[in-house]
Amino acid sequence: GAAQVLEDAGWVDEDGDGVRERDGVRLSVLYQTSTNAVRQDTQALVKQWWEEIGIEVELRNIDASVFFGGDPSSPDTFQKFYADIEMYTNNFAGVDPEAYMANWRCNEIPGPDTQWQGSNIQRFCDPAYDALVDEMAQTAALEERGRLAQEMNDMLVQSYSIIPLIHRGGVSAHAVTLEGVRMSDWDSELWNIAEWSRAE
């Protein structure tokens, strides 16, 4: 199906070298991330899939201290995003997504005017999204906040500016004599510590 979409868009392998071209331009991407075994395995898998449909892929991995370092003079930070595609982990702690969802406001785009600081790494910008962020900041009802978060999430994912790939599961344990422990993927392990007790 993906190959057919490319064909229909005019990307064809004119010279038989396995890479599609259109108007003399090769379909080639630079895919970067930090150095990490999970990320390099994912890069290799995605590269294989893309090459199967005729996309030329260059992989690049950068030391994590540089990639995430935020040095405005470095060309290799994830905020600069000097590549076609980049991969990194993105999540939030806690149960309320308001601050997290605000990361994709138009004014959060990193650039020279902000010393390349900002959370909107992929440069998604939609005034309708910003309006939802503002609405959520004025909304107290939990059900309505959930609806707004879901709508914002859908806007981000359906724009294809961010594509979720992997969920890293958390691992935790507690003593069998400890009662009242209820783990949550959405909050600290200690979120309900007031309800804990030791079995006798």
pLDDT value at position 94?
Answer: 72
**Cα 199 to Cα 79: distance, rounded to the nearest angstrom:** 49
Q: Number of structural domains, the chain?
A: 3
Say if residue 20 is in the same domain as residue 51: yes
The last residue of a domain, from among 89, 111, 145: 89
Say if residue 1 is in the same domain as residue 71: yes
Tell me the pLDDT band of 63, cut-offs 50, 70 and 90: very high
pLDDT value at position 173?
Answer: 86
CA proximity to 102, closest of 141, 140, 146, 153: 153
Say if residue 102 is in the same domain as residue 155: yes
Average pLDDT over residues 123-142: 97
The last residue of a domain, from among 89, 114, 146: 89
Beta bridge partners of 178: 198
Residue span of the structural domain in which 57 resides: 1-89
Say if residue 82 is in the same domain as residue 103: no
Average pLDDT over residues 90-111: 90
**Cα 45 to Cα 159: distance, rounded to the nearest angstrom:** 23
Beta bridge partners of 107: none
Say if residue 148 is in the same domain as residue 175: no
Tell me the pLDDT band of 187, cut-offs 50, 70 and 90: confident
Lowest-confidence pick of 3-7, 68-72, 80-84, 169-173: 169-173
Say if residue 35 is in the same domain as residue 105: no
Say if residue 131 is in the same domain as residue 175: no
Helices (H), the chain: 2-8, 37-52, 64-67, 98-101, 127-137, 142-158
Residue 135 near residue 148 (C-beta atoms within 8 A)? yes
Predicted TM-score (pTM) of the model is 0.82
Q: What tokens does 124 get?
A: 């998604």
Say if residue 76 is in the same domain as residue 147: no
Say if residue 74 is in the same domain as residue 16: yes
Say if residue 41 is in the same domain as residue 99: no
Average pLDDT over residues 129-155: 97
Measured CA distances, 157 to 44, 154, 192 (Å): 23, 5, 32
**Cα 174 to Cα 21: distance, rounded to the nearest angstrom:** 56
The last residue of a domain, from among 71, 89, 107: 89
